[in-house]
Amino acid sequence: MKTLDFQAGEVILVNKPLHWTSFDVVNKLRYELKQKLGIKKIKVGHAGTLDPLADGLLILCTGKKTKEIESFMGLEKKYSGTITLGSTTPSYDLETEIDHTFPLDKVTENQVKAEVEKMVGTFAQQPPIFSAKKVKGKKAYDLARAGKEVKLEPKVITIHSFELSKIELPLVHFEITCSKGTYIRSIASDLGKSLGNGGYLSALRREKIGPYHLKDAHSVKEWVEIIQTSDMNNNPSI
On the question of a common fold for 11-74+212-228 and 77-209, the answer reads yes
Q: Does domain 11-74+212-228 have CATH number 3.30.2350.10?
A: yes
Residue 61 and residue 72 in contact, taking contact as beta carbons nearer than 8 Å:
yes
Is pLDDT of 182 > 90?
yes
**pTM value?**
0.89
Domain ranges of the chain: 11-74+212-228, 77-209
CATH homologous superfamily, domain 77-209 = Pseudouridine synthase (3.30.2350.10)
Among candidate residues 51, 55, 93, 190, the one labeled active-site is 51
Residue 161 and residue 177 in contact, taking contact as beta carbons nearer than 8 Å:
yes
Residue range 99-149, pLDDT digits in tens: 999 999 999 999 999 999 999 999 999 887 666 666 566 666 665 666 666
Share of the chain above pLDDT 70, in %: 86
Residue range 37-96, pLDDT digits in tens: 999 999 999 999 999 999 999 999 999 999 999 999 999 999 999 999 999 999 999 999
Total residue length of the chain: 238
Residue 89 and residue 95 in contact, taking contact as beta carbons nearer than 8 Å:
yes
Q: pLDDT class for 25, splitting at 50, 70, 90?
A: very high
Residue 214 and residue 231: Cα distance in Å, rounded?
Answer: 27
Q: Is 55 a catalytic residue?
A: no
| Cα-based angle 169, 170, 173 (whole degrees, multiple of 5) | 75
Is pLDDT of 210 > 80?
yes
